[in-house]
């Protein structure tokens, strides 16, 4: 009897563990789906941008790796050619890295033409330090790969740049990234549901609104429960404080 009870408890524990693992995986996937899509888009874009010769060498190296590994691991007796083919993988990988080498710090573009000549990974990296964009440069960005556009949506570009990007971009995820950018127009930030803000973007909105210094303690509870609040952030703040807050005129 005791053995049956113990076995039942073990099975229940294993079942609970498996259920918790599956639920955790589903929740993680749901919460990180868009980030993973952006990462996959970057990897695909970088692969498309790989120099043709380097791409062929990489494919050849992977073929040597698989064939040589198979020859080394033959069940009866390793093939004489297994180790030479397998070890040839490493100089091929070195050749791939040499052929696909890129400057560590590419020069910043000075006009749309120099921007278009940059490789896609360099254009995405430049977004982090680009600063305000001219109208011509913004047009070049908006005509770029969706991955690069997504990087600029989170970059420290100007409020005017972000407003124009939000008007032109149709992808809902990228539009949300634009609206939660620290430099985004306040009316865009105000319309984003509180649960879609990060803590940092929510605090930036409240600071730009001018109420964090005076009502920070009253709003702490709101921020602590922001993950479950579907209301637009401005509506949530108005309800929490019980006052009618208007956006500053210069940000409209």
Give one DSSP letter per residue of 51-88, joined into a string: -HHHHHHHHHHHHHHHHHHHHHT-SSS--TTHHHHHHT
The answer to whether 226 touches 202, Cβ cutoff 8 Å, is yes
Q: What does the block give as tokens for 241? A: 């404080």
Closest CA relative to residue 149, chosen from 166, 129, 132: 166
Comparing CA positions, the residue from 64, 68, 51, 174 lying closest to residue 121 is 51
Q: How far is CA 2 from the centre of its chain?
A: 52
The burial class, CB within 10 Å (0-12 / 13-18 / 19+), for 171 is middle
Instruction: Measure the CA–CA gap between 58 and 93, rounded to whole angstroms.
Output: 7
- The structure tokens 């076995």 sit at 7
166 pLDDT band, cuts 50/70/90, is very high
Q: What is the value of pTM for the model shown?
A: 0.58
How far apart CA 143 and CA 76 sit, in angstroms, is 58
Give the model's pLDDT for residue 12. Answer: 81
For the ranges 55-59, 110-114, 158-162, 165-169, which has the lowest average pLDDT?
55-59
Q: Is 169 in contact with 154 (CB distance < 8 Å)?
A: no
| pLDDT higher than threshold 70 for residue 39 | no
State the pLDDT confidence band at 11, using cuts at 50, 70 and 90. confident
CA angle 130, 134, 137 (to 5 degrees): 70
The pLDDT of residue 65 is: 86
The tokens 């620290």 sit on which residue?
Answer: 182
Q: Is the pLDDT of residue 33 over 70?
A: no
The pLDDT tens digits for 175-216 are 999 999 999 999 999 999 988 998 889 889 888 888 887 887
* pLDDT score, position 44: 63
Please give the pLDDT value at position 69. Answer: 80
How far apart, in whole angstroms, are the C-alpha atoms of residue 208 and residue 186?
Answer: 8
pLDDT at 20: 80
Which contacts (CB < 8 Å, 24+ apart) does range 11-14 have?
A: none
pLDDT band at 251 (very low <50, low <70, confident <90, very high): very low
Q: How distant, in Å, are the alpha carbons of 14, 117, 242, 243 from that of 239?
A: 45, 50, 5, 7
CA distance 152 to 163: 12
Asked if pLDDT for residue 167 goes beyond 80, the answer is yes
Residue 60: left (phi > 0), alpha (psi -120 to 50), or beta? alpha
Rounded-to-integer distance, Cα 132 and Cα 138, Å: 9
* d(C-alpha 118, C-alpha 32), whole Å: 29
Bigger pLDDT: 226 vs 174: 174
Confidence at residue 51, expressed as pLDDT on a 0 to 100 scale: 63
Q: Which band of pLDDT confidence, cut at 50, 70 and 90, is reported for residue 18?
A: confident
For position 217, what pLDDT does the model report? 78
Write out pLDDT tens, residues 88-141: 888 888 887 777 766 555 667 888 999 998 888 889 888 888 889 999 999 999
As a whole number, the mean pLDDT across the chain is: 82
């Amino acid at each position: 009897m005791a053995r049956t009870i113990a076995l039942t408890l073990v099975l229940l524990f294993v079942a609970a563990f498996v259920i918790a693992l599956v639920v955790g995986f589903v929740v993680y996937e749901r919460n990180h789906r868009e980030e993973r899509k952006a990462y996959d888009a970057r990897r695909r874009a970088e692969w498309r941008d790989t120099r043709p010769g380097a791409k062929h060498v990489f494919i050849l190296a992977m073929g040597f790796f698989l064939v040589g590994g198979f020859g080394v691991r033959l069940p009866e007796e390793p093939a004489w050619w297994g180790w030479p083919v397998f070890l040839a993988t490493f100089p091929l990988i070195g050749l791939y890295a040499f052929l696909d080498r890129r400057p560590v710090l590419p020069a910043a573009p000075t006009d749309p033409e120099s921007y278009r000549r940059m490789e896609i990974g360099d254009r995405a990296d430049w977004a982090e330090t680009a600063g305000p964009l001219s109208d011509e440069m913004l047009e070049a960005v908006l005509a770029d790969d969706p991955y690069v556009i997504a990087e600029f949506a989170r970059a420290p570009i100007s409020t005017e740049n972000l407003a124009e990007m939000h008007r032109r971009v149709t992808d809902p995820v990228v539009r949300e990234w634009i609206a939660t950018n620290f430099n985004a127009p306040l009316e865009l930030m105000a319309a984003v549901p509180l649960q879609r803000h990060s803590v940092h973007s929510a605090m930036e909105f409240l600071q730009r609104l001018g109420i964090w210094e005076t009502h920070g303690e009253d709003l702490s509870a709101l921020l602590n429960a922001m993950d479950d609040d579907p209301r637009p952030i401005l509506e949530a703040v108005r309800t929490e404080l019980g006052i009618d807050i208007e956006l500053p005129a210069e940000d409209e």
